[in-house]
Structure 1
Amino acid sequence: MFFLFWGFFVWLGATLIFRFGGQFFFLYDQPLLMIMSYTLVVPLIAVLTLPVYKWKKVHSNQKIKAALFIALPGMLIDAVVLIYFQNLFPNLDPNTDKYFASWLLWAYSLILLSGFIEKQVEIGE
């Protein structure tokens, strides 16, 4: 249950950021900024998942399930949110809806992939 709630709060935080500041992330006429928004989400997802797995002492064989539970609330809610994109994100150009959806798929894929990351063996162990 914890990971479902964590996923919901991650979704809520991201949605609020894009609701009030999304116009700074999805400027399709500025490719460098678009590339940065896709690139910077990689370490962000790592920070939002990997330490939580460690904190909650999730074993390797359970990480995939935890990652699924983190991604699931946002994926389900965003399936509806994207239908009402213009109403929910008035600060974003309506033409950015496909970039926003693409970014969401990228972010959710990264969350799911985080479940496959095994603990690195440290030198001296």
Structure 2
Amino acid sequence: MFGRNRQPGGANSGIQNSGSMQNVQNQPGAYNSTQSQDNSGIGRDELEGIADLLGRIRQGMELGRARVNDYELCVGFLDTVAEQRLDDPEGRAVAKGLLEKIQQKCGGVPGLVSLIASTLAAVSALA
């Protein structure tokens, strides 16, 4: 006789879905099986790279604090950039706009303008 082990705790069978998915089916009688999906198109490496760049911008601003016009405002802008959801077009737009403002205010800090430009390019590449 052919049959399946349908006891809980046994081998996985079928899929239990969570998250925002379309056109996904689960096998009747499925148990102990899960599936998740990330539709952002943005990889963890890209996001970690941008987070690293934001940290380096913060360090550069701290080191060149005397040359940063309105340091506290720039730090506030940077904090707001870090809070944005970069997998969302609106979050990317806010991040890019704020990075451009920071870039304008940090023109006298060696290396910082190019670091901010690199970050802008990385955020723009996510689209």
Higher helix content, 1 or 2: 1
Q: Which structure is richer in relative contact order (CA contacts within 8 A, separation 6 or more)? A: 1
Whichever of the two has the greater Rg, that structure is 2
Q: TM-score, normalised by structure 2?
A: 0.30
Q: TM-score, normalised by structure 1?
A: 0.30
